[in-house]
Structure 1
């Protein structure tokens, strides 16, 4: 039995992975014509985006492709502090600024800066301090406005940031204060009703290599298969990634959601090309959806 994915734009990942494990026992290999249909879908996604108003809006915006939260210079002193950071277990023992500018500038090496809304110190703190257990914690004693360098869809950018003073550290923890641009409405809808051996959604972007010639992405799969694979279609305006599950097998399967990172080599640099998910028809988001480092927020009407 092959797994089917039915996805809405708002919940494509959770729904797709849930259905993937529910089926958890497919025929060995894919079905006839799957590769042709996968390639056709990638071409249609590229054609829809290349030269579109959505692509122009995307390139004009601020879309983080790196961590919006950066540890103190040199990293954390001990494993307990690293655990506190990853579990977002913070304690506030100080006063956070209650006022600040409403907007700030994002600056790239070339081109005009972009003025965007800023978060408050309290909002920035709340985005990193979501833990609440009795385990190891980091103590924040204050915050001040500053700046940080962050990878974006348009290359490295200098962005406004809140610099949080940590007890025991000489340099601050940085949290980007600028709000990402809204994702433009995609010019093509998501793929529907296909086997995961043909096409599946990506879980997110992990990293773009420093030379721009490869990308590392996360893809989901089940416990009765050989894992995910990712094919690439490159055009002058976009890089379309098509994820699918390989080696699905019949048999009893554990109901678990698995995630694997896949490195995709490119013929040319990513540059300002839009990195797209063939399944969703959207730019591939960086990081965990709704996490501390989202690539975007919302979709324009």
Structure 2
């Protein structure tokens, strides 16, 4: 089943705007110029996208790569969880956003080198654990002067609940005690599994751009939010979805300008929420351009 998420999507709100020099392919496919395919229009681009999506789905469905994906540990949600109830006040929220942390406690000197990720009704998986110092360094940036900060007074091992490619899981975590908070900040300690090698090569000739990342999955699994790149003077990104029993293939296109005008080499990153016909479940979420799973970032 192929469904279009563009003008029909429920949400398409800019998450951030990044002005950058981009490849000529973006200027051609994303800024109103027509590709040299004998006068093709948006419908022709959508047709090419749908054809590629079918190829990607056929390559993945029932493949060894899909089986490897489903047997691994792949986070599909944020691996850092603030204290229960969230951060209090503008200063603390700014400190968290800017990664301003101060460590005034001791990091554990010894720790287990492996831990078990567990699922309900699915076999557990043993994964290497990151060291407390390494985990803390990934969380805390370089504090700037007198900017607001969060103070870490202790770190201890624990667990956290996390959405993964195999559904909700209990994951080993480092629990960071924050000054002024009754519950800890949780940071996943288990290293994710490596992404399986794709059974299909990337298609560098497909118009549009690969999706940048997955930023969220709805609680009911019936929609996903991804970040797409498009030109500053086109009509915005559209994301097509092809759903099968084993996968959901997303393909990002851009809607060309009606006036066919020229455009500068600039781009925007924009969040697009795509509705699915049924919950994603353990189906593989794939990008049509790369032929690879869309990772959470």
CA distance in 2, matches of 1:47, 1:78: 50
Render the CA deviation track for 1:135-185: whole Å, top value 9, x for unaligned: 211111110000000000111000000000111111111100000001110
Q: Distance in 2 between matches of 1:22 and 1:36?
A: 20
> Residue 222 of structure 1: CA displacement?
1.6
In structure 2, what is the Cα distance between the partners aligned to 1:227 and 1:245?
6
2:104 is aligned with 1:93: yes
Deviations 1:252-286 (A, max 9, x none): 53x54312111211112211110100011011111
Cα RMSD for the two superposed structures: 2.0
- Cα distance in 1 between the residues matched to 2:197 and 2:31: 36
Matched, 1:62 2:80: no
| 1:98 shift after superposition | 1.7
In the other structure, the counterpart of 2:192 is 180
Residue 250 and residue 114 in structure 1: after superposition, are their counterparts in 2 closer, same or farther (change >3 A)? same
1:240 is paired with a residue of what secondary structure? strand
Which stretch of structure 1 is more off in the superposition, 16-25 or 149-158?
16-25
Q: Is the 8 A contact 2:176 2:185 kept in 1?
A: yes
Q: 1:257 to 1:25 in 2, by over 3 A?
A: closer
For residue 35 of structure 1, report the CA deviation from its aligned partner: 2.0
Taking structure 1 as reference, are residues 140 and 257 closer, same or farther at Cα in structure 2, changes over 3 Å only? farther
Contact 1:81 1:138 in 2 (8 A): yes
Given the alignment, which residue of 159, 162, 182 partners 2:174?
162
Q: Which runs of 5+ in 1 are unaligned?
A: 1-13, 288-301
Q: Is the 8 A contact 1:66 1:151 kept in 2?
A: yes
Deviation at 1:25? Answer: 3.8
**Which residue is 1:9 aligned to?**
none
Is the deviation greater in 256-265 or in 75-84?
256-265
- Which stretches of structure 1, 4 residues or more, deviate above 6 A after TM superposition? none
2-structure distance, mates of 1:252, 1:284: 29
**Corresponding residue for residue 120 of structure 2:** 109
Q: Which of the residues 208, 221, 225 maps onto 2:234?
A: 225
User: How much has 1:33 moved relative to structure 2?
Assistant: 2.6
> 1:231 & 1:110 partners in 2: Cα distance?
33
Q: Which runs of 5+ in 2 are unaligned?
A: 1-17, 35-39
The CA distance in 1 between the partners of 2:178 and 2:204, in whole Å, is 47
Matched pairs, number: 269
TM-score (norm 1): 0.84
- 1:42 and 2:42 are equivalent in the alignment: no
Aligned positions of 1:10-21 closer than 5 A: 18-19=22-23
Instruction: Supply the distance in 1 between the matched residues of 2:50 and 2:163 (Cα, whole angstroms).
Output: 30
1:195-214 alignment to 2 at 5 Å? 195-196=207-208, 200-214=209-223
Q: Is the 8 A contact 1:63 1:152 kept in 2?
A: yes
Separation in structure 1 between the aligned mates of residue 206 and residue 218 of structure 2, nearest angstrom = 31
CA distance in 1, matches of 2:108, 2:140: 16
* Compared CA separation, residues 136 and 212, structure 1 to 2 (3 A): same
Match of 2:10 in 1: none
Q: How does 1:260-279 map to 2 (within 5 A)?
A: 260-279=270-289
Task: Give, in whole Å, the separation in 2 of the partners of 1:45 and 1:62.
Answer: 22
| Structure ranking higher on relative contact order (CA contacts 8 Å, 6+ apart) | 2
